[in-house]
Structure 1
Amino acid sequence: MRFASLGSGSQGNALIVDAGVTKVMVDCGFSTRVATARLARLGLTPDQLTAILVTHEHGDHLGGVFAFARRHRLTVFLTHGTHAAASRASPTLPECRLIDGHAAFAIDGLEVLPFPVPHDAREPVQYRFDDGQHRLGVLTDSGSITPYIVEVLRACDALVLECNHDHALLAASRYPALLKRRIGGRFGHLENAQAASLVRQIDSRRLQHVVAAHLSQENNRPQLAVRALAAVLGCSDDWIGVAGQEGGFAWRQLS
Protein backbone atom coordinates (compact mmCIF):
# COMPACT_ATOMS: atom_id res chain seq x y z
CA MET A 1 0.00 0.00 0.00
CA ARG A 2 1.14 3.53 -0.76
CA PHE A 3 -0.41 6.95 -0.35
CA ALA A 4 0.05 10.51 -1.60
CA SER A 5 -1.65 13.90 -1.45
CA LEU A 6 -2.85 16.20 -4.22
CA GLY A 7 -2.92 19.11 -1.78
CA SER A 8 -3.83 19.78 1.83
CA GLY A 9 -5.19 22.94 3.42
CA SER A 10 -8.12 25.32 3.52
CA GLN A 11 -8.01 25.83 -0.27
CA GLY A 12 -8.53 22.16 -1.12
CA ASN A 13 -7.79 18.62 0.00
CA ALA A 14 -7.42 15.24 -1.71
CA LEU A 15 -5.54 12.11 -0.67
CA ILE A 16 -4.86 9.02 -2.78
CA VAL A 17 -4.59 5.54 -1.24
CA ASP A 18 -3.22 2.91 -3.62
CA ALA A 19 -3.63 -0.75 -2.71
CA GLY A 20 -2.70 -2.22 -6.08
CA VAL A 21 -5.80 -2.68 -8.21
CA THR A 22 -7.78 -0.59 -5.72
CA LYS A 23 -7.06 3.12 -5.74
CA VAL A 24 -9.32 5.49 -3.82
CA MET A 25 -9.42 9.25 -3.47
CA VAL A 26 -10.29 10.69 -0.07
CA ASP A 27 -12.10 14.01 -0.66
CA CYS A 28 -11.63 16.31 -3.62
CA GLY A 29 -11.63 20.02 -2.91
CA PHE A 30 -10.25 20.83 -6.37
CA SER A 31 -11.79 21.32 -9.78
CA THR A 32 -11.74 18.34 -12.12
CA ARG A 33 -9.05 20.03 -14.21
CA VAL A 34 -6.78 20.69 -11.22
CA ALA A 35 -7.35 17.26 -9.69
CA THR A 36 -6.56 15.57 -13.02
CA ALA A 37 -3.35 17.56 -13.40
CA ARG A 38 -2.25 16.74 -9.87
CA LEU A 39 -3.03 13.05 -10.39
CA ALA A 40 -0.75 13.16 -13.43
CA ARG A 41 2.08 14.38 -11.19
CA LEU A 42 1.70 11.08 -9.34
CA GLY A 43 1.63 9.06 -12.55
CA LEU A 44 -2.12 8.38 -12.35
CA THR A 45 -5.13 9.03 -14.55
CA PRO A 46 -8.71 9.39 -13.28
CA ASP A 47 -9.80 6.12 -14.92
CA GLN A 48 -7.44 4.24 -12.59
CA LEU A 49 -9.44 5.33 -9.53
CA THR A 50 -11.94 2.95 -7.97
CA ALA A 51 -14.02 5.31 -5.80
CA ILE A 52 -14.09 8.57 -3.84
CA LEU A 53 -14.51 8.64 -0.08
CA VAL A 54 -15.82 11.82 1.54
CA THR A 55 -15.06 12.94 5.08
CA HIS A 56 -17.59 15.79 5.37
CA GLU A 57 -19.40 18.48 3.42
CA HIS A 58 -17.12 21.50 3.77
CA GLY A 59 -16.09 22.93 0.41
CA ASP A 60 -12.36 22.36 0.76
CA HIS A 61 -13.12 18.63 0.97
CA LEU A 62 -16.34 18.16 -1.03
CA GLY A 63 -16.18 21.02 -3.53
CA GLY A 64 -14.92 19.01 -6.50
CA VAL A 65 -16.16 15.53 -5.58
CA PHE A 66 -19.41 15.30 -7.50
CA ALA A 67 -18.22 16.90 -10.74
CA PHE A 68 -15.18 14.61 -10.75
CA ALA A 69 -17.29 11.54 -9.91
CA ARG A 70 -19.85 12.29 -12.64
CA ARG A 71 -17.13 12.92 -15.21
CA HIS A 72 -15.35 9.66 -14.46
CA ARG A 73 -18.29 7.51 -13.33
CA LEU A 74 -17.00 6.90 -9.83
CA THR A 75 -19.06 5.85 -6.82
CA VAL A 76 -18.96 8.28 -3.90
CA PHE A 77 -18.93 6.86 -0.35
CA LEU A 78 -20.22 9.17 2.38
CA THR A 79 -22.28 9.18 5.58
CA HIS A 80 -26.01 9.81 5.69
CA GLY A 81 -25.46 13.21 7.30
CA THR A 82 -22.91 14.31 4.73
CA HIS A 83 -25.19 13.12 1.94
CA ALA A 84 -28.11 15.09 3.38
CA ALA A 85 -25.99 18.24 3.67
CA ALA A 86 -24.63 17.81 0.15
CA SER A 87 -28.10 17.20 -1.29
CA ARG A 88 -29.26 20.62 -0.14
CA ALA A 89 -26.53 22.27 -2.17
CA SER A 90 -26.68 19.95 -5.19
CA PRO A 91 -29.96 18.12 -5.77
CA THR A 92 -28.46 16.04 -8.61
CA LEU A 93 -25.77 13.78 -7.23
CA PRO A 94 -23.74 11.00 -8.90
CA GLU A 95 -23.95 7.40 -7.71
CA CYS A 96 -23.53 7.41 -3.93
CA ARG A 97 -23.15 4.68 -1.35
CA LEU A 98 -24.23 5.65 2.14
CA ILE A 99 -22.00 4.31 4.90
CA ASP A 100 -22.30 3.79 8.65
CA GLY A 101 -19.75 6.04 10.33
CA HIS A 102 -18.82 3.26 12.77
CA ALA A 103 -18.76 0.19 10.50
CA ALA A 104 -15.92 -1.13 8.36
CA PHE A 105 -16.58 -1.99 4.71
CA ALA A 106 -14.52 -3.32 1.83
CA ILE A 107 -13.69 -1.84 -1.55
CA ASP A 108 -12.28 -4.84 -3.38
CA GLY A 109 -9.42 -6.03 -1.14
CA LEU A 110 -9.08 -2.80 0.82
CA GLU A 111 -10.78 -2.61 4.21
CA VAL A 112 -12.01 0.88 5.07
CA LEU A 113 -12.96 1.83 8.61
CA PRO A 114 -14.73 5.20 8.93
CA PHE A 115 -14.70 6.72 12.40
CA PRO A 116 -16.57 9.76 13.75
CA VAL A 117 -14.70 12.91 14.70
CA PRO A 118 -15.69 16.10 16.56
CA HIS A 119 -16.03 18.71 13.83
CA ASP A 120 -18.65 21.32 12.93
CA ALA A 121 -20.23 19.34 10.13
CA ARG A 122 -23.36 17.20 9.77
CA GLU A 123 -21.85 13.70 10.24
CA PRO A 124 -18.09 13.95 9.74
CA VAL A 125 -15.79 10.93 9.64
CA GLN A 126 -12.17 10.15 8.97
CA TYR A 127 -10.77 6.84 7.70
CA ARG A 128 -8.37 4.02 8.48
CA PHE A 129 -7.24 1.76 5.63
CA ASP A 130 -6.06 -1.85 5.90
CA ASP A 131 -4.79 -3.92 2.96
CA GLY A 132 -4.22 -7.04 5.06
CA GLN A 133 -0.59 -6.19 5.74
CA HIS A 134 -0.47 -2.53 6.70
CA ARG A 135 -2.69 0.15 8.20
CA LEU A 136 -2.88 3.80 7.24
CA GLY A 137 -4.71 6.23 9.52
CA VAL A 138 -6.00 9.59 8.28
CA LEU A 139 -7.16 12.25 10.73
CA THR A 140 -7.89 15.85 9.75
CA ASP A 141 -10.71 18.26 10.57
CA SER A 142 -11.16 17.22 14.17
CA GLY A 143 -11.35 19.71 17.00
CA SER A 144 -10.34 17.28 19.71
CA ILE A 145 -9.06 13.77 20.32
CA THR A 146 -11.54 11.20 21.64
CA PRO A 147 -10.74 7.82 23.23
CA TYR A 148 -12.26 6.13 20.20
CA ILE A 149 -9.96 8.02 17.81
CA VAL A 150 -6.99 6.85 19.88
CA GLU A 151 -8.26 3.27 19.76
CA VAL A 152 -8.77 3.28 15.99
CA LEU A 153 -5.34 4.77 15.30
CA ARG A 154 -3.49 2.91 18.03
CA ALA A 155 -1.68 0.42 15.77
CA CYS A 156 -1.06 2.07 12.40
CA ASP A 157 1.94 1.84 10.11
CA ALA A 158 1.44 5.38 8.82
CA LEU A 159 -0.45 8.50 9.87
CA VAL A 160 -1.64 11.55 7.98
CA LEU A 161 -2.39 13.82 10.90
CA GLU A 162 -3.87 17.30 11.12
CA CYS A 163 -1.61 19.99 12.58
CA ASN A 164 -3.83 22.90 11.67
CA HIS A 165 -2.58 25.69 13.88
CA ASP A 166 -0.24 26.86 16.58
CA HIS A 167 -2.07 28.18 19.63
CA ALA A 168 0.01 31.34 19.96
CA LEU A 169 -0.14 32.16 16.25
CA LEU A 170 -3.91 31.71 16.19
CA ALA A 171 -4.36 33.91 19.25
CA ALA A 172 -2.28 36.67 17.65
CA SER A 173 -3.77 36.37 14.15
CA ARG A 174 -5.99 38.86 12.35
CA TYR A 175 -8.91 36.43 12.39
CA PRO A 176 -12.14 37.62 14.02
CA ALA A 177 -12.67 36.37 17.57
CA LEU A 178 -15.60 34.17 16.51
CA LEU A 179 -13.50 32.42 13.88
CA LYS A 180 -10.65 31.93 16.33
CA ARG A 181 -13.04 30.28 18.77
CA ARG A 182 -14.37 28.03 16.03
CA ILE A 183 -10.93 26.91 14.87
CA GLY A 184 -9.60 26.39 18.38
CA GLY A 185 -12.79 24.87 19.78
CA ARG A 186 -13.53 21.21 20.38
CA PHE A 187 -15.39 20.98 17.04
CA GLY A 188 -12.77 22.89 15.08
CA HIS A 189 -9.26 21.83 14.09
CA LEU A 190 -6.32 20.16 15.82
CA GLU A 191 -3.52 22.31 17.21
CA ASN A 192 0.10 21.10 16.99
CA ALA A 193 0.21 20.06 20.64
CA GLN A 194 -3.06 18.12 20.30
CA ALA A 195 -1.67 16.19 17.34
CA ALA A 196 1.47 15.43 19.33
CA SER A 197 -0.68 14.26 22.24
CA LEU A 198 -2.40 11.73 19.97
CA VAL A 199 0.95 10.38 18.78
CA ARG A 200 2.01 10.03 22.41
CA GLN A 201 -1.03 7.84 23.13
CA ILE A 202 -0.60 5.32 20.32
CA ASP A 203 1.92 2.57 19.58
CA SER A 204 4.46 4.53 17.58
CA ARG A 205 6.83 1.57 17.14
CA ARG A 206 5.01 0.51 13.98
CA LEU A 207 5.07 3.90 12.32
CA GLN A 208 6.91 4.07 9.01
CA HIS A 209 5.54 7.48 8.03
CA VAL A 210 4.01 10.46 9.82
CA VAL A 211 2.79 13.37 7.71
CA ALA A 212 1.52 16.65 9.18
CA ALA A 213 -1.51 17.81 7.17
CA HIS A 214 -4.09 20.58 6.81
CA LEU A 215 -1.70 23.26 8.07
CA SER A 216 -3.10 26.78 8.22
CA GLN A 217 -1.06 29.14 6.08
CA GLU A 218 -1.92 31.99 8.44
CA ASN A 219 -1.83 30.31 11.85
CA ASN A 220 0.93 27.71 11.62
CA ARG A 221 4.43 27.11 10.32
CA PRO A 222 5.67 23.76 8.98
CA GLN A 223 8.65 23.79 11.34
CA LEU A 224 6.37 24.21 14.37
CA ALA A 225 4.22 21.22 13.40
CA VAL A 226 7.27 19.11 12.61
CA ARG A 227 8.98 20.03 15.86
CA ALA A 228 5.93 19.09 17.94
CA LEU A 229 5.60 15.64 16.35
CA ALA A 230 9.33 14.90 16.26
CA ALA A 231 9.69 15.73 19.96
CA VAL A 232 7.14 13.07 20.89
CA LEU A 233 8.53 10.45 18.53
CA GLY A 234 12.15 11.14 19.42
CA CYS A 235 13.07 11.37 15.75
CA SER A 236 14.84 13.95 13.63
CA ASP A 237 12.73 16.76 12.21
CA ASP A 238 13.36 15.66 8.64
CA TRP A 239 11.69 12.28 9.27
CA ILE A 240 8.30 14.03 9.63
CA GLY A 241 6.57 14.81 6.36
CA VAL A 242 4.44 17.88 5.64
CA ALA A 243 1.50 18.00 3.22
CA GLY A 244 1.52 21.30 1.36
CA GLN A 245 -1.41 23.17 -0.16
CA GLU A 246 0.01 23.26 -3.68
CA GLY A 247 2.20 20.18 -3.79
CA GLY A 248 0.57 17.84 -1.30
CA PHE A 249 3.20 15.15 -0.90
CA ALA A 250 4.62 12.46 -3.17
CA TRP A 251 4.08 8.73 -2.84
CA ARG A 252 4.97 7.13 0.48
CA GLN A 253 5.31 3.35 0.45
CA LEU A 254 4.45 0.96 3.25
CA SER A 255 6.63 -2.14 3.30
Structure 2
Amino acid sequence: MKFVSIGSGSKGNSTVITNKNTTIMIDCGFSGKETVSRLKAKGISPEQIDAILVTHEHTDHCKGVATLSRQYALPIYMTHGTARGMKLLKYQYTKIVAGESFQIGDFKIDPICVPHDSNEACQFLVNDQDKRFGILTDLGHVTPHIESAYQQCDSILLEFNHDTELLAKGPYPYSLKKRVGGNLGHLNNNQAANLLQSMDLDRLKNLALSHISEKNNCFKIALETAQNITENTDTTIHTLEQQFGSEWIEVA
Protein backbone atom coordinates (compact mmCIF):
# COMPACT_ATOMS: atom_id res chain seq x y z
CA MET A 1 0.00 0.00 0.00
CA LYS A 2 1.17 3.50 -0.82
CA PHE A 3 -0.36 6.99 -0.85
CA VAL A 4 0.10 10.33 -2.52
CA SER A 5 -1.32 13.80 -1.94
CA ILE A 6 -2.29 15.71 -5.07
CA GLY A 7 -2.67 18.89 -3.01
CA SER A 8 -3.11 19.89 0.62
CA GLY A 9 -4.27 23.20 2.05
CA SER A 10 -7.17 25.62 2.23
CA LYS A 11 -7.42 25.80 -1.59
CA GLY A 12 -8.01 22.08 -2.06
CA ASN A 13 -7.25 18.64 -0.65
CA SER A 14 -7.14 15.15 -2.11
CA THR A 15 -5.26 11.96 -1.26
CA VAL A 16 -4.99 8.71 -3.24
CA ILE A 17 -4.25 5.35 -1.61
CA THR A 18 -3.47 2.30 -3.70
CA ASN A 19 -2.09 -1.21 -3.81
CA LYS A 20 -1.85 -3.71 -6.66
CA ASN A 21 -5.61 -4.26 -6.80
CA THR A 22 -7.44 -1.30 -5.23
CA THR A 23 -7.26 2.49 -5.57
CA ILE A 24 -9.32 4.96 -3.56
CA MET A 25 -9.42 8.73 -3.40
CA ILE A 26 -10.13 10.51 -0.13
CA ASP A 27 -11.68 13.92 -0.84
CA CYS A 28 -11.60 15.87 -4.09
CA GLY A 29 -11.29 19.58 -3.34
CA PHE A 30 -10.34 20.71 -6.84
CA SER A 31 -12.41 21.15 -10.00
CA GLY A 32 -12.86 18.07 -12.13
CA LYS A 33 -10.45 19.31 -14.78
CA GLU A 34 -7.76 20.27 -12.27
CA THR A 35 -8.16 16.97 -10.42
CA VAL A 36 -7.57 14.98 -13.59
CA SER A 37 -4.48 17.06 -14.33
CA ARG A 38 -3.11 16.58 -10.81
CA LEU A 39 -3.82 12.85 -10.94
CA LYS A 40 -2.00 12.46 -14.25
CA ALA A 41 1.01 14.28 -12.78
CA LYS A 42 1.20 11.44 -10.23
CA GLY A 43 0.75 8.73 -12.87
CA ILE A 44 -2.92 8.04 -12.12
CA SER A 45 -5.86 7.99 -14.49
CA PRO A 46 -9.37 8.61 -13.07
CA GLU A 47 -10.48 5.25 -14.49
CA GLN A 48 -8.15 3.50 -12.03
CA ILE A 49 -10.05 4.84 -9.02
CA ASP A 50 -12.48 2.41 -7.39
CA ALA A 51 -14.25 4.93 -5.14
CA ILE A 52 -14.18 8.46 -3.72
CA LEU A 53 -14.49 8.81 0.06
CA VAL A 54 -15.59 12.22 1.34
CA THR A 55 -14.66 13.43 4.82
CA HIS A 56 -17.05 16.42 4.93
CA GLU A 57 -18.81 18.98 2.77
CA HIS A 58 -16.44 21.95 2.87
CA THR A 59 -15.48 23.06 -0.63
CA ASP A 60 -11.75 22.46 -0.23
CA HIS A 61 -12.59 18.78 0.27
CA CYS A 62 -15.57 18.15 -2.01
CA LYS A 63 -15.50 20.65 -4.89
CA GLY A 64 -14.89 18.09 -7.65
CA VAL A 65 -16.54 15.02 -6.12
CA ALA A 66 -19.83 15.07 -8.03
CA THR A 67 -18.20 16.06 -11.33
CA LEU A 68 -15.55 13.34 -11.17
CA SER A 69 -18.14 10.77 -10.10
CA ARG A 70 -20.44 11.60 -13.03
CA GLN A 71 -17.69 11.74 -15.66
CA TYR A 72 -16.01 8.47 -14.67
CA ALA A 73 -18.83 6.55 -12.95
CA LEU A 74 -16.98 6.55 -9.63
CA PRO A 75 -18.89 5.41 -6.50
CA ILE A 76 -19.07 7.93 -3.64
CA TYR A 77 -18.89 6.97 0.03
CA MET A 78 -19.93 9.54 2.63
CA THR A 79 -22.08 10.06 5.70
CA HIS A 80 -25.70 11.14 5.44
CA GLY A 81 -24.76 14.49 7.00
CA THR A 82 -22.06 15.09 4.41
CA ALA A 83 -24.48 14.24 1.60
CA ARG A 84 -26.97 16.69 3.09
CA GLY A 85 -24.29 19.37 3.36
CA MET A 86 -23.30 18.81 -0.27
CA LYS A 87 -26.98 18.80 -1.30
CA LEU A 88 -26.55 15.35 -2.79
CA LEU A 89 -29.19 13.44 -0.83
CA LYS A 90 -30.89 12.46 -4.11
CA TYR A 91 -27.58 11.49 -5.69
CA GLN A 92 -26.62 7.82 -5.67
CA TYR A 93 -24.02 7.27 -2.95
CA THR A 94 -23.09 4.69 -0.32
CA LYS A 95 -23.89 5.86 3.18
CA ILE A 96 -21.19 5.29 5.77
CA VAL A 97 -21.54 5.54 9.53
CA ALA A 98 -18.68 6.48 11.84
CA GLY A 99 -17.63 3.44 13.83
CA GLU A 100 -18.87 0.94 11.22
CA SER A 101 -16.09 -0.55 9.07
CA PHE A 102 -16.62 -1.24 5.37
CA GLN A 103 -14.68 -2.86 2.55
CA ILE A 104 -13.57 -1.49 -0.81
CA GLY A 105 -11.56 -4.07 -2.73
CA ASP A 106 -8.55 -5.04 -0.62
CA PHE A 107 -9.03 -2.20 1.85
CA LYS A 108 -10.90 -2.41 5.13
CA ILE A 109 -11.82 1.15 6.06
CA ASP A 110 -12.68 2.52 9.49
CA PRO A 111 -14.54 5.87 9.47
CA ILE A 112 -13.73 7.91 12.59
CA CYS A 113 -16.03 10.66 13.90
CA VAL A 114 -14.21 13.98 14.36
CA PRO A 115 -15.25 17.35 15.84
CA HIS A 116 -15.46 19.87 13.00
CA ASP A 117 -17.92 22.60 12.03
CA SER A 118 -19.73 20.52 9.44
CA ASN A 119 -22.74 18.21 9.41
CA GLU A 120 -21.25 14.76 10.06
CA ALA A 121 -17.50 14.87 9.48
CA CYS A 122 -15.37 11.75 9.63
CA GLN A 123 -11.80 10.81 8.86
CA PHE A 124 -10.45 7.41 7.86
CA LEU A 125 -8.16 4.55 8.76
CA VAL A 126 -7.31 2.40 5.73
CA ASN A 127 -6.17 -1.15 6.47
CA ASP A 128 -4.43 -3.45 3.99
CA GLN A 129 -3.78 -6.76 5.73
CA ASP A 130 -1.38 -5.84 8.57
CA LYS A 131 -0.61 -2.30 7.33
CA ARG A 132 -2.58 0.77 8.45
CA PHE A 133 -2.72 4.24 6.95
CA GLY A 134 -4.44 7.02 8.84
CA ILE A 135 -5.72 10.32 7.51
CA LEU A 136 -6.67 12.95 10.09
CA THR A 137 -7.37 16.56 9.15
CA ASP A 138 -10.08 19.15 9.74
CA LEU A 139 -10.78 18.71 13.42
CA GLY A 140 -10.76 21.26 16.21
CA HIS A 141 -9.44 19.02 18.96
CA VAL A 142 -8.37 15.45 19.63
CA THR A 143 -10.92 13.38 21.54
CA PRO A 144 -10.02 10.28 23.60
CA HIS A 145 -11.73 8.17 20.90
CA ILE A 146 -9.52 9.67 18.18
CA GLU A 147 -6.39 9.20 20.27
CA SER A 148 -7.28 5.55 20.80
CA ALA A 149 -8.23 4.91 17.17
CA TYR A 150 -5.00 6.32 15.70
CA GLN A 151 -2.57 4.62 18.08
CA GLN A 152 -1.35 1.92 15.69
CA CYS A 153 -0.58 3.52 12.33
CA ASP A 154 2.26 2.62 9.99
CA SER A 155 1.82 5.95 8.18
CA ILE A 156 -0.35 8.96 8.93
CA LEU A 157 -1.37 12.11 7.08
CA LEU A 158 -1.91 14.53 9.97
CA GLU A 159 -3.12 18.11 10.09
CA PHE A 160 -0.65 20.74 11.28
CA ASN A 161 -2.90 23.62 10.33
CA HIS A 162 -1.77 26.65 12.30
CA ASP A 163 0.60 28.12 14.81
CA THR A 164 -1.40 29.75 17.60
CA GLU A 165 0.80 32.86 17.74
CA LEU A 166 0.80 33.35 13.97
CA LEU A 167 -2.98 32.89 13.90
CA ALA A 168 -3.44 35.50 16.64
CA LYS A 169 -1.22 38.02 14.82
CA GLY A 170 -2.36 37.10 11.31
CA PRO A 171 -4.67 38.85 8.82
CA TYR A 172 -7.85 36.87 9.48
CA PRO A 173 -10.81 38.74 11.02
CA TYR A 174 -11.50 37.87 14.65
CA SER A 175 -14.53 35.71 13.81
CA LEU A 176 -12.46 33.53 11.48
CA LYS A 177 -9.59 33.30 13.95
CA LYS A 178 -12.06 32.12 16.57
CA ARG A 179 -13.47 29.55 14.17
CA VAL A 180 -10.09 28.16 13.03
CA GLY A 181 -8.68 28.00 16.55
CA GLY A 182 -11.86 26.73 18.20
CA ASN A 183 -12.90 23.24 19.26
CA LEU A 184 -14.63 22.68 15.90
CA GLY A 185 -11.94 24.23 13.74
CA HIS A 186 -8.47 22.95 12.87
CA LEU A 187 -5.58 21.39 14.76
CA ASN A 188 -2.70 23.66 15.71
CA ASN A 189 0.90 22.45 15.72
CA ASN A 190 0.93 21.67 19.43
CA GLN A 191 -2.32 19.71 19.34
CA ALA A 192 -0.99 17.60 16.47
CA ALA A 193 2.30 17.09 18.33
CA ASN A 194 0.47 15.96 21.47
CA LEU A 195 -1.42 13.36 19.46
CA LEU A 196 1.84 12.19 17.90
CA GLN A 197 3.38 11.79 21.33
CA SER A 198 0.56 9.46 22.34
CA MET A 199 1.04 7.19 19.29
CA ASP A 200 3.15 4.08 18.90
CA LEU A 201 6.14 5.83 17.33
CA ASP A 202 8.08 2.56 17.06
CA ARG A 203 5.49 1.48 14.50
CA LEU A 204 4.98 4.84 12.75
CA LYS A 205 7.30 4.99 9.73
CA ASN A 206 5.85 7.95 7.81
CA LEU A 207 4.34 11.22 9.01
CA ALA A 208 2.88 13.57 6.39
CA LEU A 209 2.25 17.09 7.70
CA SER A 210 -0.89 18.31 5.97
CA HIS A 211 -3.35 21.20 5.61
CA ILE A 212 -0.60 23.67 6.61
CA SER A 213 -2.03 27.19 6.52
CA GLU A 214 -0.27 29.59 4.17
CA LYS A 215 -1.17 32.59 6.34
CA ASN A 216 -1.20 31.22 9.90
CA ASN A 217 1.67 28.73 9.87
CA CYS A 218 4.97 28.03 8.14
CA PHE A 219 6.59 24.79 7.09
CA LYS A 220 9.65 25.43 9.29
CA ILE A 221 7.63 25.74 12.51
CA ALA A 222 5.42 22.75 11.71
CA LEU A 223 8.43 20.61 10.79
CA GLU A 224 10.40 21.56 13.90
CA THR A 225 7.39 20.81 16.10
CA ALA A 226 7.04 17.34 14.60
CA GLN A 227 10.78 16.69 14.73
CA ASN A 228 10.82 17.41 18.47
CA ILE A 229 8.49 14.43 18.95
CA THR A 230 10.02 12.02 16.44
CA GLU A 231 13.75 12.83 16.70
CA ASN A 232 14.66 9.55 18.43
CA THR A 233 12.52 7.37 16.16
CA ASP A 234 12.70 5.95 12.64
CA THR A 235 9.75 8.07 11.50
CA THR A 236 10.28 9.92 8.21
CA ILE A 237 8.54 13.30 8.02
CA HIS A 238 7.04 14.62 4.78
CA THR A 239 5.53 18.08 4.29
CA LEU A 240 2.58 18.31 1.91
CA GLU A 241 2.20 21.34 -0.33
CA GLN A 242 -0.84 23.05 -1.80
CA GLN A 243 0.40 23.06 -5.37
CA PHE A 244 2.50 19.90 -5.54
CA GLY A 245 1.08 17.68 -2.81
CA SER A 246 3.68 14.96 -2.26
CA GLU A 247 5.65 12.19 -3.89
CA TRP A 248 4.35 8.64 -3.55
CA ILE A 249 4.94 7.34 -0.01
CA GLU A 250 5.05 3.65 0.89
CA VAL A 251 3.00 2.62 3.92
CA ALA A 252 5.95 0.73 5.39
TM-score, normalised to structure 1, is 0.96
User: One-letter code of the match for 1:213?
Assistant: S
How many angstroms does 1:163 deviate by?
A: 0.3
Q: Which residue does the alignment assign to 1:12?
A: 12
User: May I ask how many residue pairs the two structures share in their alignment?
Assistant: 251
Query: CA contact under 8 A between 1:54 and 1:77: conserved in structure 2?
Result: yes
Cα distance between partner residues in 1 of 2:199 and 2:250: 21
Q: Which residue does the alignment assign to 1:84?
A: 84
Query: CA contact under 8 A between 1:19 and 1:110: conserved in structure 2?
Result: no
Is 2:119 the counterpart of 1:122?
yes
Task: Give aligned-pair identity as a percent.
Answer: 38
Cα distance between partner residues in 2 of 1:82 and 1:101: 12
Q: Which residue does the alignment assign to 2:33?
A: 33
Q: Which residue does the alignment assign to 1:219?
A: 216
Is 2:207 the counterpart of 1:210?
yes
Cα distance between partner residues in 2 of 1:104 and 1:146: 19
Query: CA contact under 8 A between 2:179 and 2:185: conserved in structure 1?
Result: yes
Q: Which residue does the alignment assign to 2:131?
A: 134
Is 2:142 the counterpart of 1:145?
yes
1:64-116 deviation line (CA, Å, top 9, x unaligned): 100011100000000011111112xx5763x3100111111100120000000
Is 2:100 the counterpart of 1:103?
yes
How many angstroms does 1:48 deviate by?
A: 0.4
1:168-189 deviation line (CA, Å, top 9, x unaligned): 0000011111100000001000
Cα distance between partner residues in 1 of 2:178 and 2:105: 42
Give runs of aligned pairs for residues 153-168 of structure 1, distance below 5 A. 153-168=150-165
Q: Which runs of 5+ in 1 are unaligned?
A: none
Q: Which residue does the alignment assign to 1:71?
A: 71
* Secondary structure of 2:202's aligned partner: helix
Cα distance between partner residues in 1 of 2:249 and 2:106: 20
Query: CA contact under 8 A between 1:56 and 1:122: conserved in structure 2?
Result: yes
CA 1:194–1:111: 2 relative to 1, 3 Å: same
Cα distance between partner residues in 2 of 1:63 and 1:235: 40
* Secondary structure of 2:208's aligned partner: strand
